[in-house]
Structure 1
Amino acid sequence: MNMQELKSLIYQGEKVDVECKKAQGKVPDSVYETYSSFANTKGGMIVLGVLEDKTKVIPEERFIIQGVDNHEKLREDFWNTINSQKVNANILVDDNVYAVEEDGIALLVIEVPRADFTVRPVYKGENPFKGTYKRNHEGDYHAKEYEVRAMIRDQSAEGNDSTILEGYSMDDIDADTLERYRIMFNSWNPQHVWRELPDKEFLEMLGGYRRDRREKVEGLTVAGLLMFGSGLAIRDEFDNIFMDYRNETDADDETRWVDRITYDGTWENNLFNFFRKVTPKLTEDLKKPFVLKDMQRIEDTQVHKAIREAFVNMIIHADYRMDAGVLKIVKFNDGFRFSNPGSLKLPKEQIYKGGESKARNPHMQTMLRMVGFGDNAGSGFPDILKIWSDNGWEIPELMEDTILNQVTLILKYKTDEVGESIFLDAKMSEEDEKNERRLSEALSEVMTASDYKKVEAIILYLEDNKYVTPQIAEKLTGKSAPTVRRYLKMLVETGYVRVDGSTSNIKYVI
């Protein structure tokens, strides 16, 4: 940039990503504190050669452009120091440090990018707990110990959720939660080799239980306990974590919310139960082409997918070791807000672009993906952006609060004159509504809860494959041929499938 552009930036005042320093004859020691704070927060620009008179209010009087005496020597001194043991890591390239000159006055500019998560914390000196800085609107501050530990945790290539928890075993798993998950897993993966594994081996394959042969220890991992553990066991280890969902549609001064899911003693407080209980409430107002009352999903709209993707992202990117961690979802008249503890591992620009996935909790990501939720190819957030754009809604806003150590995603959609949601791609035709009513009524009248689960497996298979044979249906349900024929006949009568082919090669086509 030229001097006029730089002055314009300076006169806007010091802020979270701009710092001015006097530095006439030498590089001030405080530069390396600011270098650390910018690298560990969102990046920023250090300008050397500017005197600040804090008694003045008018920007042109408050920030005095003095310049530096010898910018070439100053630049050389800075490079020599940044490459020494003054700081633990040099994340700059040549183009990040340059002089801006005009009328014999030179300012030295140092552009500090946000450090990659594999490098953070960037710190001054040799002790990260004493030399790590972060940035807020007031300037540089010493990072708290839990903030430093969070950066160190994020360096792991395996993520944060594979750690074996000392003293935790399969006894700390809530059996009902794991059983519900396994039913969904079997429906989504009818031919998978993990279906018949005992619970411990099943969890081990998912990353919820681990053996460390080198250290000769084994037990539940962070992912296994948080996803499927009993509420009491989770609170013993993660007493800082709190899960909260609020429906604040039509809320007023007297009624703060119309529905809430939080710790009330009626459910085991693990992540899978939270996800399972809250997801239907987020999408219950969306019209669906086809749905069953106990189904997690049968046929989706793109809007359903985007909302679920936002929920999955919140879970798999949260830092559950933060000093105060709240997983909070709020449903408003015009959208949703998802908040989780932690920071962004990737720059916001990279997240919006997509193509790279760096989940903080990759094993939780696998667990959800294996039952049909989430994407691990780095396309999840761009998918949300596209779906919102296709509907003409506001661009989703991803915000990082580096002071509260919290990430928030806001999804807003347009409303009509009476405040009702307009979901352009989620309309249900009269024929679809008719089919839904007929199928739901027919199944609920003649089937037990156990049989109902078997039919769900057939329908899920149909959604992926468009047709099913009696032989495949028998394998999916584990039922006899006469029972399966009864199931398939009911689906024909509802209009959900039609019969195709002769008796010897009959198929039921969706």
Structure 2
Amino acid sequence: MTPEELLLRLDVGEDQDTEFKLAEGGLPKSLWETVSAFANTKGGIIILGIEEQGANFKVSGVRKPETLLKTFWDGHNNSQKLSTPICSDADVHIVRIADHKLVVINVPRARRIQRPLYINGNPMMGTFKRNHEGDYRCSEPEIRQMLRDAGDEPQDLRILEGFGWDDLDSEAIKAYRNRFSSRTPNHPFLALDHIGLLQRLGGWSRDRSTGKEGLTLAGLLMFGRERSLLDELPHYHLDYQEQLSADPEVRWTYRITLDGTWEPNLFNFYYRVYPRLVADISVPFKLDKDSTRQDETHVHEALREALVNTLIHADHQSSLPLVISKQRNAFIFKNPGRLRIPREELYQGGVSDPRNPNLQKMFQMLGLGEKAGSGFQKILRAWHEQHWLRPLVDEPSTLEMTRIYLPVMSMIPDAVEYELRQLVGDQYTELHELDRIILMLAQRLGAIGNENIQLYRREHPREIGEHLRRLVNQGWLDKSGHGRGTRYRLPTSTQTDLFGETLPSPPLSLRHNGGSEHYSPNSEHYDANSEHYSSEHYQQLQKLAVPVREKGRVSKELVEKTIVALCAKDWLTLRTLAHLLNREPDTLRNHYINPMLRAGRLAARFPDQTNHPGQAYKAKQVLPQ
């Protein structure tokens, strides 16, 4: 690390991957907790010789850095202090700033076979992880999950004591065999009986050292009965939810979960869920190289990969549920268990380390799932083709869980872009792409941190930090908090005054227009005249609104007349009208907009979708015939 890079970190402050310690009296005792926390999370940098003064940090230096380094290496290489050495010589060095010397320790992320990295010889009390609040001691379930992942033996090949053929759903096995036969009619596995087929698939095994033979965890998961699954895995839980209502009080509009009406093994779950995941995706007419019509798109393929990966990579022995959500603006796949490879390698592709290789094989025999680490690449390709926000993979720091978020929304929706243009003004067109994404995320999420932006972008956190500071200096973002708690928001005055109400995170429908080959024409991709106004045009609208905006109480007739004038040529949203007229949105909606719609004086842009996020209004008498 160069002095310049170190000063930049000081400017940003502590965060999830940076920790400052004073080290005035020698090596801090808390250093080892931070080493464990960084290694068990995503890695990080510890800088010794920094004093915290309120919200700021001051370089104080360390007196004898060489002595400090010796003490560090003695503890680092002592298994009673640190369970596994994690740093190399290149990870620890001395940096000089002016007359001060600081010790910089880079802690890499531990590989799965090194986790849990614990201190003081006690994994249950000495294992730590990192979140935005600092280091915290891991719970016993978190530690046991790390220990399961550390082993080389496949988790799903374990032979289950006391389980056998009667614990399996024979109908699921027959259905599997039929699908297998349809795909590969002459496969030699099909000549075997059910037990023989299970043996070849890894669902039934024999321990050569003990002679013990029986059903494996993979066999139970893929084909098991509900009661048998819960006997072996008390916390086993599969949950598919469709959350397609605009009403926040409606938690889900359709659900598939364990309810006693079906056998909830992975085979049955997949074939119940996949058709519903892709139900709204239309297939354009397209022929393959053999002049046969293709019956799916790259989006179909991506959702299939995401579903299969969630099922085969889950730690089904965890107490956490496996949850898949189909929302109005996204697909979300959550499975217990962290990634077994670094997230960067997942995005690059080509690397695979399955938690349950036998489950993977069972699905692959049906043509489902990729083995060579290319499955996520198919997801990235499909989303890139649609110009949707980049898929993100997240590992919540306080949970041993992996979450795949597939947003079904354009990079910057038109309605959001208009609002940001009003904030930034004429300089909007000159903004860097990253600046636009940051502002868009602040608009949609409310309060954001550097870590939120990292989920959508590939830039280094330091570069993102530079852009955040620049946006704050320009007055386009408000900053609050410091260090790990720093959050950024759109200026409060802009959100309240400009649009009449705080900006929600507008849900987007899963149905897109003809601009996307995969969705039917129920458009949310607004056309060119949808509130993209020049400053001059907006000033004209403001002049029209003066008779109402500058007076506290006016007649209802004048308000309605002004609304008609404003909406004579353009579709205007409720927020824009509220700002122009200086009235509360609810007042306008209830006392003016809705009555004028019923009277036929206004037309709604989306008449069949009252709560459509792009809803806007136009004077009906001037609509083109």
- TM-score, normalised to structure 1, is 0.77
The one-letter amino acid paired with 1:50 is I
What is the aligned partner in structure 1 of residue 159 from structure 2?
A: 164
| Secondary structure of 1:325 counterpart | coil
Change in CA separation of 1:163 and 1:290 when aligned onto 2, cut-off 3 Å? farther
Higher normalized contact order (CA 8 Å, seq sep 6+, divided by chain length): 1
Q: Distance in 1 between matches of 2:89 and 2:229?
A: 49
The one-letter amino acid paired with 1:184 is R
Aligned ranges for residues 71-110 of structure 1 at < 5 Å? 71-85=65-79, 86-110=81-105
Q: Report deviation, 1:405.
A: 2.0
Q: Distance in 1 between matches of 2:239 and 2:135?
A: 33
1:421 aligns with 2:415: no
Deviation string for 1:77-112 (max 9, x for gaps)?
322321222212112222211122122111111111
What is the aligned partner in structure 1 of residue 186 from structure 2?
A: 191
Q: Report deviation, 1:225.
A: 0.7
| Secondary structure of 1:161 counterpart | helix
Q: Distance in 2 between matches of 1:6 and 1:254?
A: 48
- CA contact under 8 A between 1:25 and 1:74: conserved in structure 2? no
What is the aligned partner in structure 1 of residue 259 from structure 2?
A: 264
Of 61, 69, 73, which residue of structure 2 is paired with 1:67?
61
- CA contact under 8 A between 2:164 and 2:215: conserved in structure 1? yes
Of 303, 310, 321, which residue of structure 2 is paired with 1:307?
303
What is the aligned partner in structure 1 of residue 313 from structure 2?
A: 317
Change in CA separation of 1:124 and 1:254 when aligned onto 2, cut-off 3 Å? closer
- CA contact under 8 A between 1:334 and 1:421: conserved in structure 2? no
CA-based RMSD of the aligned residues comes to 2.3
Deviation string for 1:102-141 (max 9, x for gaps)?
2211111111111111221112133322322222222222
Q: Distance in 2 between matches of 1:49 and 1:343?
A: 34
Q: Distance in 2 between matches of 1:356 and 1:263?
A: 33
The one-letter amino acid paired with 2:27 is V
What is the aligned partner in structure 2 of residue 10 from structure 1?
A: 10
Q: Distance in 1 between matches of 2:284 and 2:2?
A: 58
The one-letter amino acid paired with 2:315 is D
Q: Distance in 1 between matches of 2:129 and 2:209?
A: 37
What is the aligned partner in structure 2 of residue 471 from structure 1?
A: none
What is the aligned partner in structure 1 of residue 36 from structure 2?
A: 36
Aligned ranges for residues 352-363 of structure 1 at < 5 Å? 352-363=347-358
Q: Distance in 2 between matches of 1:177 and 1:184?
A: 11
Change in CA separation of 1:45 and 1:254 when aligned onto 2, cut-off 3 Å? closer
The one-letter amino acid paired with 1:269 is P
Q: Distance in 2 between matches of 1:96 and 1:142?
A: 24
Q: Report deviation, 1:367.
A: 0.7
Q: Distance in 2 between matches of 1:392 and 1:89?
A: 44
What is the aligned partner in structure 1 of residue 212 from structure 2?
A: 217
Q: Distance in 1 between matches of 2:397 and 2:235?
A: 18
Unaligned 5+ runs, structure 2:
287-292, 415-507, 521-625
Deviation string for 1:315-370 (max 9, x for gaps)?
11111122x32111111222211111111111111111111001111111111111
- CA contact under 8 A between 1:249 and 1:332: conserved in structure 2? yes
The one-letter amino acid paired with 2:36 is S
Q: Distance in 2 between matches of 1:4 and 1:300?
A: 52
Q: Distance in 2 between matches of 1:346 and 1:26?
A: 36
Q: Distance in 1 between matches of 2:329 and 2:30?
A: 46
- CA contact under 8 A between 2:49 and 2:101: conserved in structure 1? yes
1:279 aligns with 2:274: yes
Q: Report deviation, 1:22.
A: 1.6
Q: Report deviation, 1:25.
A: 4.6
Q: Distance in 1 between matches of 2:15 and 2:356?
A: 33
The one-letter amino acid paired with 1:320 is H
The one-letter amino acid paired with 1:175 is S
- TM-score, normalised to structure 2, is 0.63
| Secondary structure of 2:229 counterpart | helix
Q: Distance in 1 between matches of 2:256 and 2:142?
A: 29
The one-letter amino acid paired with 1:318 is A
Greater shift in the superposed pair: 169-178 or 154-163: 154-163
The one-letter amino acid paired with 2:192 is L
- CA contact under 8 A between 1:413 and 1:421: conserved in structure 2? no
Q: Distance in 2 between matches of 1:248 and 1:275?
A: 19
The one-letter amino acid paired with 2:9 is L
| Secondary structure of 1:134 counterpart | strand
Q: Report deviation, 1:298.
A: 7.7
Q: Distance in 1 between matches of 2:285 and 2:214?
A: 41
1:21 aligns with 2:16: no
| Secondary structure of 2:155 counterpart | coil
Q: Report deviation, 1:391.
A: 2.0
Deviation string for 1:209-260 (max 9, x for gaps)?
1111212322211111111100111011212121111112234135332221
